[in-house]
Amino acid sequence: METTPELPRTPRRRKVITLGTKLEIIQKLEAGMSAAAAGREYDMNESSVRTIWKMADKIKASVAHTGSLNAKITRTRSALLEKMEKLLTKWVEMQTTLGVPTTPAVVRAKALVIYERLKKQQGSDQDEPFMASKGWYDKFCKRTKIQLPKLDKGEEDKP
């Protein structure tokens, strides 16, 4: 009996879907299409379609807050956090326009202030706390494409 040699398996690449595509899938599921049929149509696993369906409210909120259907979001974040980042971006841009120097510690502290203010205004019982960590700061700078100083290793962990 002759056996064929096994070819090395290459790991499957993660397929990132735009918010617009996710919204289309949600609309088709709302219209009555099955998850299996939607999966076949969009060439994706049925479980991925079901996950999109389960996250429909968060995806719709992300579309409303980002304003872009072409955004590729792999993890939906809370609307409160997105709103805080939008306000923080405007604040940083205003500080830059006025020529006021902004340090990472000042930006992180302002992020915490804005977050807490929004949380009180909306009466939100946000389960996950917002820490304004170094990692969040670096990713915030990358997401918003704002040129702010990078955190140094010697800089304090807390804002």
Treating both helix axes as pointing N-terminal to C-terminal, what angle do 46-54 and 19-30 enclose, rounded to 10 degrees?
90
Task: Give the pLDDT confidence score for residue 149 in this predicted structure.
Answer: 61
Task: Give the pLDDT confidence score for residue 78 in this predicted structure.
Answer: 77
Helix/strand/coil for 18? strand
Comparing 24-28, 90-94, 144-148, which segment has the lowest mean pLDDT?
144-148
Phi-psi region of 4 (alpha: psi -120 to 50; beta: other; left: phi over 0): beta
Q: How far apart are the C-alpha atoms of 40 and 120, rounded to whole Å?
A: 44
Q: How far apart are the C-alpha atoms of 128 and 81, rounded to whole Å?
A: 11
Task: Give the pLDDT confidence score for residue 1 in this predicted structure.
Answer: 56
Quickly name the fold that domain 79-144 has.
Answer: Arc Repressor Mutant, subunit A (1.10.10)
| 124: number of Cβ within 10 Å | 12
What are the backbone angles phi and psi of residue 2, rounded to the nearest 5°?
-95, 135
- Best CA proximity match to 116, nearest among 89, 88, 143: 88
Give the model confidence (pLDDT) of 19-68 as tens digits: 889 999 999 999 999 999 999 999 889 999 999 999 898 888 777 766 66
| 81: number of Cβ within 10 Å | 17
Q: How far apart are the C-alpha atoms of 15 and 123, rounded to whole Å?
A: 36
Give the model confidence (pLDDT) of 111-121 as tens digits: 999 999 988 88
pTM tops 0.85, yes or no: no
Q: Which amino acid is at 10?
A: T
Radius of gyration of the chain (CA): 21
Listed ranges 5-14, 43-52, 67-76; the one with the highest mean pLDDT: 43-52
| 123: number of Cβ within 10 Å | 6
